[in-house]
Amino acid sequence: MASPEPCAAAAAPGSGFGAVDGILPPELLLEVLLRLPAKPICRLRAVCRSWLSFTTDRLFLAAYAAVHPHPLLAVLVDSFPSRCCVDLVDLSGNVVEEILGVGGECRVLTASYDRVLVAGEHHRVSVLDPATGSVSALPFGIAEDMARRNGMRPAWFAFGQTNSTGEYKLLRILEDLEDGYEADPVCEVFAIGDMNGRWRKMESPPGYLDPSYTNGVVFEGAAYFFLDHWQMDPSYYFATGCIPSFDLATEQWSTALQGPVNRILEEANGTLNYAYLTDRLMLAQLEGTLCTAHFNDRISAVDLWFLVDFENGMWSKEYRINVEFAFDGFGDGVQPLLVTDEGNVVLWVQIGSKGMVWIYNPVTNTSSEIVQTKASIFTGVGVYTGNQLCPQSM
């Protein structure tokens, strides 16, 4: 886009803000702009240089951020067959922005780094920019033919930055069930910064991944996944329920991290087994470390285990969230999204065909619903921490 032309006149700065051509003083203009969504403000930057200067001033950006606090939740709204969109929702349940054009049969993969990633039909991936509302489709990938077959297990995805260079990469893993369980999954990597790039084939994962949860979690430059429950058992070749990881920089797999599975079973005193953990474990990144959420429907509780020592695979149970009050026969899965500055836990829960976002207060042992959608937990909800007015280049 060409540089905006200067306006006919620009008044002297007032209260720290430069004025723009027009009849409103800077103080009143600020009050008006603070009530607008991010997208029209970004469009105003193309009007002239004084509008650009005003809406990119650090004081304006700080004021806008204070009125529109982060984080936001990226939630898929599926009103099939009419449309699908992604809503950015604040923690009060207010829709801050609606992003259209994402297509049908979608699910949110992640929402971070100023972008929202969405997977569509045949595992096609689109990148959404909330600041502009644009939707850009990535190339289909190496596994195009396999993805179009009916015997495909849903893809596993992970998105994040490398530790060394800060490069953004997307990892996708597809498994072909038509050729039987012995078929090696196809693992692909795409560098998001290169929109004209291509998917590159990588080494397959070291074991079968858990089919009940399809997103990997990136922590300190590596993507972590759960193994299928039968491989958590030490009687198989993976001991102590390890969590395989893919280093985004070296693009190599590792099985160095041990998960909290054995601790969970020890605490259960024989009432649980490895097979029972199927569909009841979720990975997340909370409070700067990896977190494993264990949904135990036998006692109507969700335990959150935090990784405290990577080298020794030590995990600490920091939360037990009572969910009996929420629903009778509480849902099919629970995924933690974030812990707020006030210590409340934001959860995405599945109950049958419904997906809901709840905020749990550990002090009062109560929760409140802020979002409800037809989408299930496998559709996904992302935590968006980007600045809608200052998108970072990827």
pLDDT at 272: 83
pLDDT at 154: 64
pLDDT at 247: 96
The whole-angstrom separation of Cα 322 and Cα 70 is 27
pLDDT tens for each residue of 124-150:
888 888 777 778 888 887 776 666 665
pLDDT at 240: 58
The whole-angstrom separation of Cα 226 and Cα 347 is 19
* Contact between residue 231 and residue 239 where contact means Cβ atoms under 8 Å apart: no
* Contact between residue 13 and residue 26 where contact means Cβ atoms under 8 Å apart: yes
CA angle 25, 31, 34 (to 5 degrees): 130
pLDDT at 291: 95
pLDDT at 329: 46
pLDDT at 77: 76
What residues of the chain score a pLDDT lower than 70?
1-23, 78-83, 103-105, 112-113, 144-154, 176-183, 194-196, 212-214, 229-240, 324-332, 352-353, 374-380, 387-388, 390-394
The identity of residue 370, as a single letter, is I
pLDDT at 1: 41
pLDDT at 32: 87
The whole-angstrom separation of Cα 198 and Cα 122 is 17
pLDDT at 109: 77
Q: Does the reported pTM lie above 0.85?
A: no
pLDDT tens for each residue of 219-260:
999 999 988 766 666 655 555 578 899 999 999 999 889 889
pLDDT at 235: 59
pLDDT at 330: 47
pLDDT at 4: 45
